[in-house]
Every structure is written in structure tokens, then in C-alpha cells.
Structure 1
Amino acid sequence: MHMSVRKQVIWWGAASALLLVTMWLLGQAILPFILGAGVAYLLDPVADRLERAGLSRTMAVVVITFGCVLILAAVILLIVPLLIRQATALIATAPEMFEQARSFVVARFPDLLPEGGTFSTAMTDLGKAMGDQWSNVAQTIMSSLGGVISAVAILVIVPVVAFYLLLDWDRMVAEIDRLLPREHAPVLRRLAAEIDAALSGFVRGQGLVILILGTWYSIALMLVGLPFGFFIGISAAALSFIPYVGVLIGGITAIGVALFSFWGEPLWIGAVVAIFALGQVVEGNYLQPKIVGGHVGLHPVWLLLALSVFGALFGFVGLVAAVPMAAALGVLARFAIERYRQSALYTGRTPPAEAGPPILVELAPRGTVARELLQARLQADESRGRAEIQTMQEDLQRRKD
């Protein structure tokens, strides 16, 4: 007996509500496990490739763990301190650059910003406020982030969870597949494959693009001697998942710093412009088509909406889960639209009734049914005659007695 659609909707809705309530109530507690699962998901293709190369699963996970520890140590010891120093210096220098730009505009275009005008006064106040508030904002963000993610969770729980999940990833996927409701298993497998394609196409593909662009921007800007070039290059690459936003924000910031630092040296200013122009050309014509390719990724507006909504509802754990949740919701939305276009509500036609169980028809020579009926009638008459004879014999025996 099939479960009704109404009951199925109730069960699946209750499961989804339970997941959201769990994230809301236990967000801080389950955050390290979500991060560990995300790391295991990202590294599973690497482990599978090492297995195909001849390593056992355990040895492949050990090699990956050792490499990740080395990379993480290098990032913490070499890159993070440099980023923090340059970010702090850029924030401290920003009011001076802002004031110099305002003075240049006032000197060259006095009608644009009249002295003592409302707009000019507002710009001056904004420049002063930047120096007073930006450092406080940065400290607040870092302190709140440190309160959400403790050092123990980062250094101990996340690597341990990622190690064990990566070790048993294939077995867990197979076990989850066995637990799927049999009636909906094909559809759920299809949706899971589409979610994996969308998520991996964005996270793995876009992550590699960001890594390549960050390396190019940061090293190239440092080579031309641009102050804060490493921080600006990394920031521009990190924002490149939104088309044109990374190159615009990073390019404007870099050109502004170049004008402040290289005024009177147009060669170096042109070099900064050329670095971002070349990066944009390579990203649009090679990196995105070759690496991300035809994957159904996440639209930037949809991703920003997911980050805003999940961040507001579930805090930092919502920001972490926003990308996979956005991928899942996008796939489910496309599936719902597909089913809607097949429904009578869209087509205006009543769908054909489901076919009943097949009827087995056996072909026999002509007269077979008549012969079988005749034989059945003869057998019935014979059985009735034997029954009457037996009854008569029983009557005679009773009379003798």
C-alpha cells in the first residue's frame, strides 16, 4: 500500500523543520562538525584519486592530512601575519589618502566641491571617521569571530572530524543510499548528483580560480612595489566569485593606492592597471571556461541572498552552511519547476491515468476451451454418480443392520 502524497509531504516537511531547529539551537556546538564535514567533502576526490593510483584509503587519508597540516602551518605563519599587517596599515593610511584625493579634486575642480559646502563637509567628516572607526570595526569582527570559533574547535575538533569522515566517506555514502526510501530512491539520487555537481562546480572550481587569481594579483602587485599589494590582491581574488565585483573593488583600491604612492610615475600606475586587466582577461577567457566549465553553479545574487538569510537566522554557522544550502535549494527549485511544467496546472490537460497491472493472455488452439469444459462436465457427472452410488450402498447397509 502506497503512502499518500499528503503524508509524504508531512514527513519530509517535519524532517526539514527538525534540521533547521537543530541548526538554530545547536549552531555553535555543531559548527566544528559542519566544518569538518565540509573539509572531508572537498578532499574526497583527492583521496579517490590517490586510491586509484594504488594507495589504500587509510594511506591516502594520511598523506592528505600531512599535506593539509603543512599548508595550514605555512598559511598561519607566513600569509596571515602579512595580511593582518597590510590590512591594519591600509586602514590607518586610508584617511590620509582620502584627504589627499579630496584636496586634489578641490584644487582642480573647485566648482565640483565648493569649500564649506555640504558635500565637501560630509566628505571631510567621512575621512576623519574612517580613521577612528575602521580599526574598531576590525577589532570587533575579529573578537566576535574568535568567540564563535574557539581555538580548540579549529585546531583539534575540525581536523579530527575531517580525518574520520574522509576515512569512511564512501561507506557513509553507500549506507545513506541504502536508507533512502525505495519509492523515491532514483529521484533522490538524481537530486543529490545535481546538488553535488552545483556545489563542487562552485566550491572546488571557483576556489581554484580564486587561488590562481590571488597568487597572480598579490605577487604581481608586490613586484611593482605597490604598498599593501598583497592584501589588495588577496581581497580582489576573494571577491571574484561575484562577477566583476572583485576586479572593480580591487582595481579601484589598487589604482587609488598607486595614485597616492606613484604620483608623477605613470609607468607604475599603468602597470597596476595592466595587472588587473590581464587578470580579468585570463579569468573570463580561460579560467572560468576551463575550470568551472559547464557546471550549473550558483548565481551570485542567489548566493548573496542565501548568505544574508542564513547568516541572519543561524549566525556564523548559517554563513558556513549557506553555500551548500543554496546549492540544494537551487536544485530543488529547478526540480519543482520541471514538475510544474509537466503538471496539468501548466499544460491545462489532465494527466493520463496510471496503467494498471498487466493481464496475462495465453493463446490456445481453437476448441481447447470447449474440450476443457466438456471434460470438466464429464468429471463432475462422474463424481456425482460415484457420490449417488455410495449413498445408495450406505442406505442398503443400514437396512440390513
Structure 2
Amino acid sequence: MSVRHLAGILALLLLAAGAAPVMAEPNDGTVSGQVVDKTAGGGSTAGATVTLVSFGRKEQAPLGQRTAQTDADGRYSFTDLDRDPNIVYLTLARFQNVNYPTDQPFQLQDQAAAQADVAVYETTSADDAIQLENLNLLVVGASQGTLQCMEMGALLNKGDRTFVTANPQDQALARAIKFALPKGAMSVQMQTGFSDQDVIGAIGGVQVTSPVLPGRHQFAMSFDLPYNGSSVDVSMQIPYPAAAYSVYLPDTGVKLEGTPLASAGATQLGGQSYQLYSASNVAKSTIVAGQLSGLGANGSFGPGQLAIISLGVVLFVLGGGVLLFGNRLRPGLRGNGESATDLEQERLELVVRLAALDERFSAGEVSQAQYDAERARGKQRLRELTLARKQATPVIV
């Protein structure tokens, strides 16, 4: 099982862990817990594999892992663990081919033992419990006949079973989680919420083969939409019931005509003014018609500004908070070469490490010379990764 995907989750959470280190006896720590099936009428969790991953705060990287099997009651334990205040632990259980992490990482420097129960669920391939709490289409800008867009929102699994894709290897029969996109959308990339490696093409949009646990799942994806002249069709068929659907347009004279969307006036996102169009209680499979007009050959933003604007806007539209990148883990997907997803994961981890470096410098933990050198190396690598990411093979709808 690869632990590299855990780095993004843990590093983001560790940025807020500012407690001062305390002395502790090493190698006498214990972690125990129970894997509990939360599905109504669920069965035994005996024999489930539990993995304990150790993560270094200073290194901002995984340090190692251990595995154990649950007993007849679903219980597990790990002993002789290091209580170094630099080390943070996370446990995850694999049940019916899905990984389930504990709610929060934990440390052992203040106590010798920790309890870490893990909730797991039975699986289903039926999507009856899938809904959209909100769905948002953001038009960031246009450049040389291409619209740069973001689609973001919150997907709800309101059942007590984890949704898994039937036939995930067969694109035509996958029956995965659907995300609608306007016809002709290309260069689709999942930015947060689900792994970009799990995105496959589908009629009217894309599908994501990642497991979807019960609960709320924020997501954001970017895509380009080519157009000719001064207008483009942004109609979409909404795949699941949606409590709210909104479209944000730059306040530069671009207009939207369609149903059932209605104008809701101007709003501010990321320091920019947008016109908002919205609809409520959109039924499953509703076709939301939309025609943008007033586009020019050159938009209000160039393509290079998409990533800069996106983070602030995504946080605003999704309601703030920490966004977790690649937090649905799947083993055995990484090959020997560096795929586009590998590069993107490294890029995100590097962004987190740079943020952690800023925190350490502000706290006086690193010198000015060390800070400047490490930041320069990080920024150079970030430029290389960003360039390599642009060369990834696009998904065309």
C-alpha cells in the first residue's frame, strides 16, 4: 500500500499543530482500537487489515508504516511505538477493498497509549443515496477562444453504505460517480476532493471511480471550454438531485440566458466582481440550459491566472475550511514512472511544505539563510512541476 497520498492530508492538518514539544520516553507507546461496521445490519470486521502510518512534522513526509489484522471482535493493537513529539500517527483500515482512515491524526508524547477506532461501511454500487448539496460553475475568464472554468460543490452520500464503482476498469460500463460538464469541455482536472487519477470520460461529463463514503464530500475541478465568435453553450444535465445550482460570471458584460437559472445580482469572489445566476431544488437528470453571450477574443483573465484565482474562490464558494487533496486512498495504482497524478501530488505536497517552511521561519525555527535557500529550491521545483502538469493528457468531453 502506498503511503505517499497520506502526505497531503497529514501535512495540511499538521500546519495547525503548534504545541511545544515535550520530553517523553521513546518506544513505549501503544495504539489500539476497534474496526466497527457502521452499516445497519453490518457483519463482522474480523481479519481486516489495519495500517499505522507514522509521519514526521519536521520532514513533512511519511516515516514508515506497520500493519496488523483485526481479531474476531474487530480489535487491533500496535505496541513499542516511538513517542517522539515530532511523530504524528494515523491509522486506516481496509474493509471490502476500501480504505477508511481515522478522523484525526494523533501523537503519543503526552500519553503512552491512544485509542483509535475506525468506522467502516458495507459497499453498494447503487447511487440512490447520492445527492448534490450544492453545485457551482465558475467562469474564471476567457483567452483566445477558450473559456477557463471551475466546477465545484459538495457531494452527499446520505446512505450508510460506501458507494463503489461497478466495473471500474470498463469505461463504457463503469457506472461511477457522475459529474456533468458542458459539451466540448476539455483538459478536465480534478483539483480537490477526489483523485485526478480516478477521472474517466463519460457522456455529458466525466465519471470518478473513487469510493464515496457516507457523508459530505467537497470537490473542485477545472476545465477549458472552447468557443467560436462571442457565445458558447454551457448547458448541462444535472446527474443527481441538487439543492442549489449556481453560475458565477465575471462582471465584464458577459450574459447568461437559460432555464431554470435566474439572476441573483452581483457578488464578490477572490477580490473580483461576478454576476450570480442560481436555481434551487434541481431534480435529478434536469437539463439546465445556458447560453453565454458577450464573449470576446480576449477575456478578463489570461490562462496563467486560473490557478492563482481558483484557490481563494474555491474556498469562498465551498464555505472555507481545509480542502484535502487525494483523500480517498487506493492501493496498487502507482507505476514505476511518474504519471500526471504523481506530479500533481508532488506539487500539492510541495505547496504544503513551503507553507510549513513559512510557519517555521515565522516561529524562529530556521535561519534567514536556510529559509531563503529552501524556499528558492522549493519554488524552482514548483515551477518545474507546474510546467510538467500542463503537458498531461487532457480529458475531452
Same fold at TM > 0.5: no
TM bin, normalised by shorter chain, reads under 0.3
Q: Report the structure, 1 or 2, having the larger helix content.
A: 1
Higher Cα radius of gyration:
1
Q: Report the structure, 1 or 2, having the larger strand content.
A: 2
If the length of structure 2 is used for normalisation, what is the TM-score?
0.23
